[in-house]
Structure 1
């Protein structure tokens, strides 16, 4: 068996990370060189750790070098996420970051069922401390936006992904006025999730599924026509699914930074009025959000406007004239 030495890419080079994934998939055995990984960021750490983790499980990693136990990546759990034995200084939550960690989605779902509470409510409870660890605030625009985005993406994984695990990390850089959040679940992916809805069962590609998923009122579950239907059929009130979670979070992110979503063989990045697409190559669903904190106040104030635009769009294109309502949880930024 031939062994190839592969340089692990910088945490911030998205395209290079996917090329790295392809290299690992094609080789029989690899020695990983971590000497060039640079400054660790949540989006890169989550993605790289999943790629390397998959290769370790497949028996492809025969060794590694350049992985310092004293650096920030080790401190926040990156090498643990890679399933590589690198000593570290424990990071219980740090100053303004959430260490890379794994959530047992099945355990959370069982807890919600036993407690007779909707997944959305449980997600709301769980992400509060995460938002605090990242922002070091218990109120205000920064805390509220982090909590909102984490909650909507987490509940999306719980309600639609059918995965067992979810990996997540986040960080706030006060000096740069920036926040980055990232979540990866090992579920069935967006295309298969949407296919649960007969309306979207024949979506042609993963990229098409991604494009649909970030539109309003798109869901593997049905979109309801009235608040009465939500309460009567779901019994979940404000936590009912209305297909607006990814739409609202993507709009918030792209208006003050960027939003990246990848699933199967497709990914899409949104920033302002720009949109980029490319090859992804991992099962499950990956979502990264990067915000300019200086824009948060203005963005938070636009939530109602974003939802109204989405409702109008869905009414015209997806609901055959029926009134489309986003759930209260997607309309209100502060919970």
Structure 2
């Protein structure tokens, strides 16, 4: 039971883009213990899919860990977009749509939870590998966001989603994957944001005995290098030899796609890294899991199939320079767009 005489601390949420959400969550955890909390959404001026996913997960964890302190919200009623995207329901506030309840449209996919155990059950029932179920799921999402154009954008989105969801399913030990997406027509950008509360990148990569990892930032930077994996390295047990074999190229390839006019951001442990063209920004974070934001610049994806071959070749060359710690060859799935894969 909450003590009715407990002091109430008000916390104002102002901006939920990539940097704003990381900063807000960091400040949230710095609040004193032994008080009740009032989360004020009145000052909130801007939200993006990543910010909603990340802050909602952090707020839910915060509210659970600070019990018996109470967490309440105010001034949330004016945020129709966030309510429709399932933001408030996803951290436990009974307002707006449930996560995944909105139908989605040609410009957005609401906050959605995918239970990883259910993916494995579905794969077993269909007698296919779980990666095949992920492929189907991603193809549907990509079709929504690309307005069913059947062209390079749809295939690029399918590829990017598939590589990230595969990473989570194969490495994270998480119970669920959370994602949301938005198409910004005026900027010609598609934002895909994906999050899990699993073991995080540093723990995952630490299984590779050839890697020296001294910090979460080291781990994030290594994860973006081609062929770096917690499973694919010289001497690692080869669990499979097929199109889905893990090769450590998924994050490298997707970050390269985003580099062409968009941006790529990754947050795990106590660090966040934002890559925008040649520029980069490192942020202090605090997240037990992995959160990714991909911003894909639509005009640049038109020649993507050739670009994937180029990224793959470049990545394999760089992995060759890295030696034993790296896998020398991108898996077939990492070298193929959705359309190529489906027609095999």
TM-score, normalised to structure 2, is 0.88
SS at match of 2:232: coil
90, 112, 118: which one pairs with 1:81? 90
- The equivalent of 1:153 in structure 2 is 164
Q: Which moved more, 1:186-195 or 1:102-111?
A: 102-111
The root-mean-square deviation of aligned C-alpha atoms, in Å, is 2.4
Task: State the aligned residue count.
Answer: 327
Shift of 1:83: 1.1
57, 72, 82: which one pairs with 1:63? 72
Q: Is the 8 A contact 2:22 2:54 kept in 1?
A: no
Shift of 1:37: 2.4
Shift of 1:11: 2.0
- The equivalent of 1:302 in structure 2 is 307
- The equivalent of 1:141 in structure 2 is 152
SS at match of 1:209: helix
Structure whose residues are more often helix by fraction: 1
249, 258, 264: which one pairs with 1:259? 264
Q: Distance in 1 between matches of 2:186 and 2:25?
A: 32
Q: Is the 8 A contact 2:247 2:327 kept in 1?
A: no
- The equivalent of 1:237 in structure 2 is 242
Shift of 1:290: 0.7
SS at match of 1:199: coil
Q: Is the 8 A contact 2:26 2:285 kept in 1?
A: no
- The equivalent of 1:126 in structure 2 is 137
Q: Please list, as runs of the form range in 1=range in 2, the aligned pairs for 1:109-258 lying within 5 A after superposition.
A: 109-113=120-124, 115-137=126-148, 139-200=150-211, 202-223=212-233, 233-235=238-240, 237-258=242-263
Are 1:30 and 2:37 counterparts? yes
Gaps of 5+ in 1: none
- The equivalent of 1:48 in structure 2 is 55
Shift of 1:269: 1.2
Q: Distance in 1 between matches of 2:105 and 2:222?
A: 37
- The equivalent of 1:270 in structure 2 is 275
SS at match of 1:327: coil
Q: Distance in 1 between matches of 2:96 and 2:264?
A: 33
Are 1:3 and 2:14 counterparts? no
Q: Distance in 1 between matches of 2:197 and 2:327?
A: 34
Cα pair distance change 1:166/1:88, threshold 3 Å: closer
Shift of 1:224: 6.9
Q: Is the 8 A contact 1:55 1:61 kept in 2?
A: no
Q: Distance in 2 between matches of 1:53 and 1:80?
A: 10
